[in-house]
Amino acid sequence: MKQKPIKIALVGNPNCGKTTVFNLLTGSAQYVGNRAGVTVEEKEAFLKGNKNVIITDLPGVYSLSPYTSEEIVTRNYILERKPDTVLVVADAASLQRSIYLVLQLRDMGIPLVLMLNMIDLAEKQGIMIDTNKLKKLLDVEVCTAAASKGKGVFEAAELALNSAGKPASSKPAVFSREVNQAVNTIKELILSSLKSADEKRLAYFYAVKLFERDSAVKKRLKLSKEVCGELERTVKAVETAKKDSSDSLIIGSRYDFAESAVEQCVNAPAEKESLTEKADRILTGKYTAFPCFAIIMTAVYYFSAGPFGAFLSNITNSLITESFAETISGLLKGISCADWLTALITEGIIGGVGTVLGFLPQLALLFLMLALLEDIGYMSRAAFITDRFFRKFGLSGKSFIPMLIATGCGVPAIMSSRTVENPSQRRITIITSTFMPCGAKLPIIAMISTVFFDGKWWVAPLCYFLGAFSVLLSGLLLKKTKLFSSADEAFVMDMPSYHKPSLKNVLKTLRERCGSFLKRAGTTILLASAAISLLSSFGIIGGRIVYVGSIENSILKNIGEALAVVFEPLGFGKWQPAVASIMGLLAKEELVGVFGVLAPDEITAVFESSLAAFSFLMFNLLCAPCIAAISAIRKEMNSSLWTVFALSYQTVFAYTVSFCIYNIGTFFLCGNIGFMTVAAFAAALTVLTYGLLPKKNL
């Protein structure tokens, strides 16, 4: 018979290094970041070299109370999937929070191993931990590790494997005599309701949670009214005697035990102001936080999309779309290849895909800068300082994380919105996060900037801040509707210490993001470019599809002309931008590929002015995202109606913004005024009034 796999669950506080441990143990390439919320669902893989052991990386949590999405995922996994053992990953420099979590896990009767991760950083701070004394206090196996350096991780996994299947040892005395008596009474009351051996093992955990009045456990066990009544009388008796609420008694006892354990087992030097605290006085200061954020993000985009990035992209473009394309064209003509096939390969595939690949250096620089900021630990601060500001716009400070990730790719940004607990804030985050210019949109920005604005460095930061403004304005507009009316919730986020970035983590992140871009270039963009090339080379003459060799008589032009009328009020009413905008739904990079196929040397003739080109740029930055992101929206919304609403709002909002930019801009630049100008002013005034005025004044 096939042996049942052993399941090891990785549990720990946010930002304790669980994902790094998971990657080492399994050889996987899950994303690693120095901020909370990197893991938002469980991830499973086999232990490296052992197909009989499954390692599961669970979201970071501080407790097992089912209030946040991370806590729900983690607790449900342990209760329902029943891992054989749990490897608790703790930050050795912040041990007290992890001990609190260990105490809750001990109540579940599951074998545990406590791994003190980042022990090297703790020792650098002068923190010494007596692991033997800690082991005796908690009655669990304790080991040390430095996952970022690959030390001690497999030894910890070996301890976890050895503990699997063994009965959990005795629980440390945490609660007072009165609370313990009440918990044991509740345990006896519910035992008859627990059918399986696995459920009976959890009896003590259930009893503690029922003492805390945990509604999720009460619902899970389906207790009778008689049992519920007896439970309530038992709990009230203790609350009356102790003059405190039941949940406070449990929480206070655990924190007291954790604090006592740290005092007995941890020897730390006298506290002095750390480098992190000194830096945070400026980077998170009341008056300096936002200016610092603006300077940092402008520097990121200047470095990636400015002169240096543009220089690298120009070289790459020349090599691919000129030298390589000319060589291939010569070879194909030398073997008398058909004209349509030559055009397909050189103009369609090489021209379309090559134009997109030409912007890879700028994307790589952007991904590199963001990876460095995340690994240093700045991004959690950015979420913290933006929370009080974001709440005014129907968002949470945690919405900043998806916004930031969206500058790389909209798909993981939408998925990371799960860290936003409030349902309304989460939906608004999903709808608006793709307004931020993602890596796929950077080639569009670079193309418009290069052709129409002489490669000015400020175009990319302007697009970034306009995207952020669109997120905030949309938050104001949406939160005033009945669809988004749930109350605000407290903001809690772990603040990791600043540390030197790990070259390994940064390079891994860079490789993954660039690899994802190249994969799309080699699949979706290649097929779309080939389709555009064929449609631009064939036409319908006399009811037959024939090779015409000219875009002017092609099927593609006929399709574009039918769609162009929709975009006429936005300033780009020609068929080429219309086709590009539609093809952008496949992949945003494909907009550049379309112009690479259609008009590589005549882009300026497609748009009547720089303002029209900028209007086109803004529409495609804000409208419905690519198919991959649309699929992510459907998955996270878990509703077709919400998905349709999200895509409709994005497209209507993009159309309105582009309409106002072009027509109001034309008025100020040229002095022209007409129906469209009046309509644009009216639309802008209506949107801003509705968004900015308090709801009671509307």
Collapse the DSSP code of 38 into the 3-class scheme (helix H, G, I; strand E, B; otherwise coil) and give the result.
coil
Q: Give the start-to-end residue ranges of the domains of the chain.
A: 6-163, 177-267, 292-695
Is residue 630 left, alpha or beta, with left meaning phi > 0 and alpha meaning psi from -120 to 50?
A: alpha
Q: Residue 34 pLDDT more than 50?
A: no
- Per residue in 520-564, pLDDT (tens digit) is 666 666 776 677 777 777 887 777 887 776 666 778 778 888 888
Arithmetic mean of pLDDT, 46-63: 87
Give the pLDDT score at 528.
Answer: 67
Q: Residue 31 pLDDT more than 50?
A: no
Arithmetic mean of pLDDT, 121-148: 89
Single pTM value for the model: 0.58
Cα angle 530, 531, 536 (rounded to 5 degrees) comes to 100
Name the band, by pLDDT with cuts 50, 70 and 90, for residue 694.
low
- Per residue in 161-177, pLDDT (tens digit) is 998 877 766 666 788 88
Task: Name the CATH code of domain 177-267 (choices 3.40.50.2300, 3.30.230.10, 3.10.180.10, 1.10.287.1770).
Answer: 1.10.287.1770
Under a CB-based contact definition with an 8 Å cutoff, are residues 436 and 429 in contact? no
Give the pLDDT score at 397.
Answer: 66
Residue 173: both structure tokens together: 């005395």
The hierarchical CATH code for the domain 6-163 is: 3.40.50.300
Name the band, by pLDDT with cuts 50, 70 and 90, for residue 155.
very high
Give the pLDDT score at 1.
Answer: 45
Alpha-carbon distance of 220 to 170, in angstroms, equals 26
Arithmetic mean of pLDDT, 39-63: 82
Arithmetic mean of pLDDT, 620-626: 88
Q: Residue 465 pLDDT more than 60?
A: yes
What residue has token string 């008398």?
336
Within 10 A of 127 (CB to CB), how many other CB atoms are there? 17
Name the band, by pLDDT with cuts 50, 70 and 90, for residue 281.
confident
Please state the three-class secondary structure of 150-181 as a single string.
CECHHHHHHHHHHHCCCCCCCCCCCCCHHHHH
Name the band, by pLDDT with cuts 50, 70 and 90, for residue 496.
low
Arithmetic mean of pLDDT, 277-298: 80
Give the burial class of 35: count Cβ atoms within 10 A of its Cβ; 0-12 exposed, 13-18 middle, 19 or more buried.
buried
> Which of 82-91, 302-311, 400-409, 497-506 has maximum average pLDDT?
82-91
Under a CB-based contact definition with an 8 Å cutoff, are residues 684 and 667 in contact? no
Q: Which has the closest alpha carbon to 467: 302, 276, 650, 254?
A: 650
Alpha-carbon distance of 435 to 446, in angstroms, equals 17
Q: Residue 43 pLDDT more than 80?
A: yes
Range in 250-254, 567-571, 586-590, 600-604 with the lowest mean pLDDT: 600-604
- Where is pLDDT greater, at 500 or 137? 137
Q: Which has the closest alpha carbon to 89: 23, 161, 171, 9?
A: 9
Give the pLDDT score at 40.
Answer: 53
Alpha-carbon distance of 321 to 344, in angstroms, equals 14
Share of the chain above pLDDT 70, in %: 83
What residue has token string 């015409």?
548
Q: What share of the chain is helix, strand, coil (3-state, %, to 5)?
A: 65, 5, 25
Residue 361: both structure tokens together: 């250096």
Q: Which has the closest alpha carbon to 447: 608, 603, 658?
A: 603
Share of the chain above pLDDT 90, in %: 14
Q: Residue 370 pLDDT more than 90?
A: no
Number of residues written out for the chain: 698
Residues with Cβ < 8 Å from 405, sequence gap 6 or more?
A: 412, 413, 416, 433
Q: Residue 681 pLDDT more than 60?
A: yes
The mean pLDDT of the chain is 80
Sheet order of strands, 6-12 included: 43-47, 50-57, 6-12, 85-91, 112-117, 141-144
Arithmetic mean of pLDDT, 366-378: 79
- Of all helices (H) and strands (E), which one includes residue 378? helix 378-390
Name the band, by pLDDT with cuts 50, 70 and 90, for residue 489.
low
- Where is pLDDT greater, at 411 or 230? 230
* C-alpha radius of gyration, the chain, whole number: 29
Q: Residue 387 pLDDT more than 90?
A: no
- Where is pLDDT greater, at 589 or 91? 91
